[in-house]
Chains A and B, each alone.
Chain A
Amino acid sequence: MADSPSSGSPVPPGSRLRTAVEAVGEAVLAVGRRGAATVRFAGEMTVVLGETARWIARSLLRPGVRFRRDALAAQMVRVGVRSIGIVALVQVFIGIILVLQLAPTLESYGQIEQVATVVAIATVRELGPLITAIVLSGFAGASIAAEIGAMKETEEIKALRAHALSPYHFLIMPRFLATVIMLGGLAVIADVVGVFGGFMTSWLVLDIPPQTYLDITQAALDPTDYLTGLFKAGVFGVLIALIACCEGLNVTGGAEGVGLATTSTVVKSIVALIGVDAVFTTVFYVLGI
């Protein structure tokens, strides 16, 4: 904020008090601008969600509107199938880490076998969906944002509209559905692989008999655990797809803009995923689910 002799302020220009007041003012303004930008982005996400839902409904209900199965299949391969390896690898490591971190404490209580219970519940309810979503936000979310952003910059999106074709139908809908569906599938794989990582570590390092581990795992889990995990995975998929698509559609400024959109997609997705997960966990805890 520049000093202005015409401001009429009782505080003389250049004084320490004035500098401090200006600094506080600028900070408040910056927070306000950031808040307004967040609200605007949330509004854009709502619009994208609404339009996408409208096109999904149209594709399913109106005979003349194509569902675009080919595009959906291609996106499912890109978002999901290609992510299986990295999701499995990360989740095995999570299973191993969980077991080795918990073992000393549980051993001191003489409950070393209960490591299976903790691994099962933590993986199925929490870490399976969350870690998969975080991996997918970097792996697929960034790629979706970059692709849509590049299409916007090369006027492909404008060309779609010019041909009376909706970008929501052609670009957003297949990517949205693929992310939601495949995140659910990947979360199931992550659950299995995570438990397998814990199982192998418990067997090979802690000498817990395999059958004991499996019995305890089976007893620890009930259908609610699977359902809450899958529900979270679906919501995480919606979040990643919406953030990535909005960031892509907002790209301006050429290659630099595309780069910023990918970074922003990953950062916003991770913050949103963990924030929403915290809300869900609190709600499930309060409801006793």
Chain B
Amino acid sequence: MESDVVISVQEVVKTFPRADGTPARVLDGVTFDVHRGETIVVMGGSGCGKSTLLNCLIGELPVDGGRILYHTARMPSSRDISGMSESELNELRKHLGILFQSGALFNSMSVADNIALPIREHSSVPARLIETIVTLKLEQVRMLEHRDKMPSQLSGGQKKRVGLARATALDPEILFYDEPSAGLDPVTSAAIDELIMDLSKKLLVTSVVVTHEMDSAFRIADRMVMLDRGRVLKVGSRADFEALRNAPPDTLTRHEERLMNQFLNGYGRGPLTDATGTSEFERLITAG
């Protein structure tokens, strides 16, 4: 494992049982590295395994094969997440921040209490200092005037901002984003992207973003990973993927390249879909 690699995903396999009891491979030998300080975007169509991969990365789902090695500043020797006990996993999670798709704010708590909770529970910081940290975090996401509101009083974009403030409450080394722009209008989506880039620079965190919003992905990514039906099609720099996106489809010779070109451009016709517009994945699902 290279010294600047903070997460090394090695041949990860995850299966779920189908309705008839047979296993379906949702992740099939996924391999890539996440380097310190970079923003890496994992993308792919609906059902390609992005969210499952994220859940495996944060220890929410156990993997069925392969390894996910963490090598954070507070964890000097690399450790496989699947070999960690619950308390070791919790210790690791204190150094990770996660922005969930819906924000996942605690609805019974105010905005300020949502951010204060992890600090209060995992540190011995005095109450007055916690207030200051909460103010700082809310300023970072430009939500200070909403500190006393309840989550039900916030819009979708505001919930994500507060979720982001909560994710950074303990100054994590790695931030995970699950579909940060999903369900947002283009302007709010762009604002969230700017916030992600801004936080990455200011907090010097490593960011792993799972998304299928191409505009957002190309705005924030240093490197990209393309998944298709649980397999990694390509890992490369943003420039590599931009070149692939801008290439005329008839100049691409490899099936995978044509497939990625279609996805990156959002074409209705191509190797991902047939004449009826049904995706290969949808056909597989329908076929059971």
Contact = CB atoms under 8 A, between A and B. Distances in A.
A159 interface: yes
Interface string B72-111: 0000000000000000011101101010111011110000
Contacts of B166: 163
Contacts of A156: 104-107
A155 interface: yes
B121 interface: yes
A54 to B, nearest CB: 11
A158 interface: yes
B122 interface: yes
Interface string B167-199: 000100000000000000000000000000000
B118 interface: yes
A161 interface: yes
A163 B104 contact: no
B204 interface: no
B93 A164 contact: yes
B121 A159 contact: no
B92 to A, nearest CB: 8
B107 A158 contact: no
A162 interface: yes
A155 B93 contact: no
Contacts of A158: 60, 100, 104
A204 interface: no
Contacts of B58: 162
A164 B94 contact: yes
A257 to B, nearest CB: 16
The winner among A151, A154, A161, A163 for most chain B CB atoms within 10 A is A163
Given A155-B100, A155-B101, A162 B93 contact: yes
Interface in A40-71: 66
A165 interface: yes
Contacts of B94: 163-164
B107 A154 contact: yes
A159 B106 contact: yes
Nearest to A71: B108
Contacts of B91: 164
A223 to B, nearest CB: 41
B60 A162 contact: yes
Interface string A65-81: 01000000000000000
Contact of B104 (A66, A155, A164): A155
A153 to B, nearest CB: 9
B117 interface: yes
Given A155-B100, A155-B101, A161 B93 contact: yes
Interface in A135-173: 151, 154-156, 158-165
A162 B98 contact: yes
A151 B104 CA distance: 9
Interface residues of A, number: 13
Contact of A154 (B104, B117, B118, B170): B104
A159 B93 contact: no
Contacts of A159: 98, 100, 104-106
A164 B117 CA distance: 11
Contacts of B117: 163, 165
B178 to A, nearest CB: 9
A154 B96 CA distance: 20
B106 A162 contact: no
Contacts of B122: 163-164
A161 B121 contact: no
B247 to A, nearest CB: 38
The winner among A154, A160, A164 for most chain B CB atoms within 10 A is A164
The winner among B102, B106, B117 for most chain A CB atoms within 10 A is B106
Nearest to A161: B60
Given A154-B107, A156-B107, A158-B60, A165 B118 contact: yes
Contacts of B104: 154-156, 158-159
A90 B107 CA distance: 33
Contacts of B101: 155
> What 6 pairs between A and B have smallest CB-CB spacing?
A155-B104, A164-B90, A159-B104, A164-B93, A162-B98, A163-B118
Interface of B: 58, 60, 89-91, 93-94, 96, 98, 100-102, 104-107, 117-118, 121-122, 166, 170
24 contacts: A66-B121, A154-B104, A154-B107, A156-B106, A158-B60, A158-B100, A159-B104, A160-B106, A161-B60, A162-B58, A162-B60, A162-B93, A162-B96, A163-B94, A163-B121, A163-B122, A164-B89, A164-B90, A164-B91, A164-B93, A164-B94, A165-B117, A165-B118, A165-B121
Given A151-B107, A163-B121, A164-B118, 11 more contacts: A156-B104, A156-B107, A159-B98, A159-B104, A160-B106, A163-B94, A163-B117, A164-B89, A164-B94, A165-B117, A165-B118
